[in-house]
A and B are shown apart, each in its own frame.
Chain A
Amino acid sequence: MASQDEKQGSAYTGFGSEWRPVKLSAEDARTATSWVEKRIDKREMLTGKERVEDVREVMWELEKDGEIVVHRISEQHDPVIGKTLYGWDKRIPTQQLWHHKSCGQCGNIPGYPSSLLWLQNQMGIRYLDETDQTSCTAWNYHGSGIGNIVSLAAVFLRNFHQAYVSSVSQGLPPGYYYPLVHCGTSFGNYKEVRHYLLHSAELREQVKKILGKLGRLVDGKLLIPEEIVHYSEWLHVMRSRIQEHQVIDVSNIRATVHPACHVHKMVPEDVLYDDTVMDGNRVAVSTGLLQTLGAQVIDYSTWYDCCGFGFRHIIGEREFTRSFAIDRKLKVVSEEAHSDVMIGHDTGCITTLDKSQWIGKAVDKVYPVSVMSDAQFAALACGAHPYKLAQLHWHASPFEGLLEKMGIDWQKAQAEFEAYLKDVADGRIETLYDPKRAITSGPGYVKPTQIEAKA
């Protein structure tokens, strides 16, 4: 903080109406902008900092001191090591996964999680998709301000405790399943909350009382996950194995990637970078997968910008959301990159970029580009049905041209899906797993021996 002496008569008094524009010449403004852009393009804004700590060291110390229990990623989870921003190792579990769903994906982009589960079925990955979970509640927090660090921490620890004990409902030991977070905001929020929890004994004490009341402690201690893992990280470390299942050539597809802010700007030291992906100057997830599948990944000048979702704005001030999405993202990927598809790895971004296109007609800003998640694109490349599995009919952006370019007969697929809807109405529903597994306690719970007997 500035002292009184520093404040009086110094440049720090310049704010509000007293603030004066610097009135840079056009050339100086270009120089300043280019200085910043060069550093962003080479990720210097992230790495050129001091005082960055690996919070996992604090975690291991706390466990050694008997304060917490760590949900470990062990050999049973078949981990693959990824490298984060500073070259630190991050163990990504690839097996026995507990799906921590995203309310926005499940609510309006259902093909996003269903494509992920379908890919895992193709590769024989064991997982659990269950009803005993809440959202991270952070979309609401960032949008409205309702909530606080204690509530966010309690929600984080409750959900991750449930991931830890969920296997017991199937007669398996605790810790069998490891949580895989679907939403980018959940991913960023949980990592921020973990940081505060590990650094604040007071917060741990507050949350411990609540978790104790809920019966959500392990040996009387808080349970902290060894890593917080986003599904896009799973896709990244599995990309070569996914490629083995690829049946559609996508080498003619021009793809752009929108890196999600809450995935790569929140707690950036924990984000995967890979020297083989854009020379390590872009977050590795999604781009690495697309390159492995053989798509042309096109860089574009506004890759670093957010999408315009805004959390509050998507609900109450969409003129901001759609203006930013159109002017700063859709226009650029369309005119500059000639993109066939824009790929995202977070809920709000895909919603925003997908749903903000049609309204552009009102102001002659029409930049049609298909928008979908990396999981959906990978599933399509591996032969997933575009409607029954990738569920593209929930999207507002035009995906038909992309499918044609991939050699997929979307009209035939649509007709198949419409015929399937009649089966659904008659109760003949196809699912990716046994629905009985989804309920792990309370009303509707069926013990595993009973499931096996009926199977």
Chain B
Amino acid sequence: MTDLMERYLAAVKRRLPEEQAKDIIAELREAIGSKIEAKEKALGRAANAGEVAAILKEFGHPVVVASRYSGQDYLIGPNLYPWFWDAQRTGVGLVFAIVVAIAAVRAFASERPIQAVLQGIAGAIEAAIWMFGVITVIFIVLERTKTDVRIAQGWNPKTLPHGNIRAPKPLFDSVFALAFDAILILWWTKVVRLPNEFPWQGNRGLELHLSDAWAPFHTPILVLALVVAAVHVADIVYPAWSRLRSLVSIVGHFWGIAVAGMLYRARPLVDVIVSPGAEDRTRELNAIFEIGLGLAALGWAIGLGVEVWRLLRSLQVGVPGPQAAPKG
């Protein structure tokens, strides 16, 4: 019944590294041959096809046997898996939130909102699958190349977040905020276009454009948005309050209030293009934007006050930031 054995060995050989295949197969042939021989000795006759098949089955499926010679038991091993899962949660969550948010804004102004929402969800799922694939490939490469990931070894319990000045930011909040930052930056740099045409009085519509008042603030607002996004990225890595984060936050809030003030003085904030026959609502729309700007400035002022208070409190209670964690 050597035919069955040779077919089995050929199936194993196809899956072995070429340079070792000959040697491994010679050893397996000898091992299986010995087993068949022992069986035949016990039976006192030649083994039949069923008996040989049983021996081969006991030896193991060719795929399993060959894989044991590869030395690579895991696609992503137990050492990397916790980091893989954490990266997936953050990466997939972030990309899903960004695409859904962009789709929601587009659907809001679409003539077919349900279709736009469905397209948006499909796009978000596709983007999430892509992100899942990219992160998976990165971790497979790390596992294959046995890259020494020292995140766990370099970990210091003393750097765990403090919660007495402000509770650590939940991951969901940081990811959601970062998704919003990404949309704002993409829109501000004209990478994506958000709808600015709105139906108004039947078939007539109006178009909103930012006025020239914003032009001098293009770069300062972009820098502010990038700083805020960087803070939200930092929140994902280290979700606790720290003095450095507080200082950046204070500067950001102050910056926001200053820009809002200068914008207010340079108003009108929006130019409105109205369809022929539609009533001009430029004044009312500008008033809405001015109220919005005022509310934003109020929010930043409250945020500024809270951050200054936290900073002063941290000086009183002596809370170290991650950079000031005791050594050793």
Do A and B pair up? The answer is: no
Write the residues of chain B forming the contact surface with A, with a CB cutoff of 8 angstroms.
none
